[in-house]
Chains A and B, each alone.
Chain A
Amino acid sequence: EPEVTQTPSHQVTQMGQEVILRCVPISNHLYFYWYRQILGQKVEFLVSFYNNEISEKSEIFDDQFSVERPDGSNFTLKIRSTKLEDSAMYFCASSEEGGGYTWVGYNEQFFGPGTRLTVL
């Protein structure tokens, strides 16, 4: 069964360093997402991406964050200058369709196993 994959599984970095988290969405999916989960807290939406551009982003997704689909298979999240509070589990997800329909939309989002980011 197709699945979303993420690398690395665990990334340790020093505060102020740049990190790139990588994801390979399910191959026929068109919509891609990043979420994060700080330890013990809710899963939070960061950004959605469709047709090579950001379609929606949250307040968390500030100028320190960027996303890219550098080729036909990878989807990356870059944090330019990491802060201690960026420590979290970062999940990539993908779906066949988006959710912003006026009719009853169908948007099953499939998540990857996550990358645990630790900022020291």
Chain B
Amino acid sequence: SQQGEEDPQALSIQEGENATMNCSYKTSINNLQWYRQNSGRGLVHLILIRSNEREKHSGRLRVTLDTSKKSSSLLITASRAADTASYFCASQGGSEKLVFGKGTKLTVNP
């Protein structure tokens, strides 16, 4: 089955630095989506990248996808304290369900 796994599990950086989170999955996918979750709150959709795309940008977010390595990365540039949250990747293959990873807990220190 597909399974997204992020690394690192936790990341602590200073405001203004870039944060990179990685995600791996096991089977072929149609797309991969990144979500953000503030502590105990809902999941906010950040970006979707399709299997035929290699890179996508949205504001300070940059997502890459390498289907040959079954991996994706999320880069947040010029991080802010408000970016502190958990970030999840979720892969989607030939069905409706999203398969989530364990997430990376990002802390951005002011």
Residue of B nearest to A89 (CB): B40
Asked if B33 CB lies within 8 Å of chain A CBs, one says: yes
* Bound complex: CA A98 to CA B45 (Å): 16
Chain A residue at smallest Cβ distance from B52: A104
Contact A42 B100 (CB under 8 A): yes
Whole-angstrom distance between the Cβ of B22 and the nearest chain A Cβ: 16
The closest CB in chain B to the CB of A102 belongs to B94
Give chain A residues whose Cβ lies under 8 Å from the Cβ of B103: 42
The smallest beta-carbon distance between A49 and chain B, in angstroms, is 9
B100-A43 in contact (CB<8A): yes
> In the complex, are the beta carbons of B95 and A100 less than 8 A apart?
yes
What is the CB-to-nearest-CB distance from B54 to chain A, in angstroms, rounded to a whole number? 13
Q: Which chain A residues lie closer than 8 Å to B52 at the CB level?
A: 104
Bound Cα distance A109, B88 (Å) = 13
A75 at the binding interface (Cβ < 8 Å) = no
Within A49-98, the residues touching B (CB, 8 Å) are 50, 55-56, 58, 89, 91, 93, 95, 98
Residues in chain B within 8 A of chain A (CB atoms)? 30-31, 33, 35, 40-45, 48, 50-52, 88, 90, 92-103
* Residues of A participating in the B interface, judged by any CB pair closer than 8 Å: 31, 33, 35, 41-45, 48, 50, 55-56, 58, 89, 91, 93, 95, 98-102, 104-114, 116
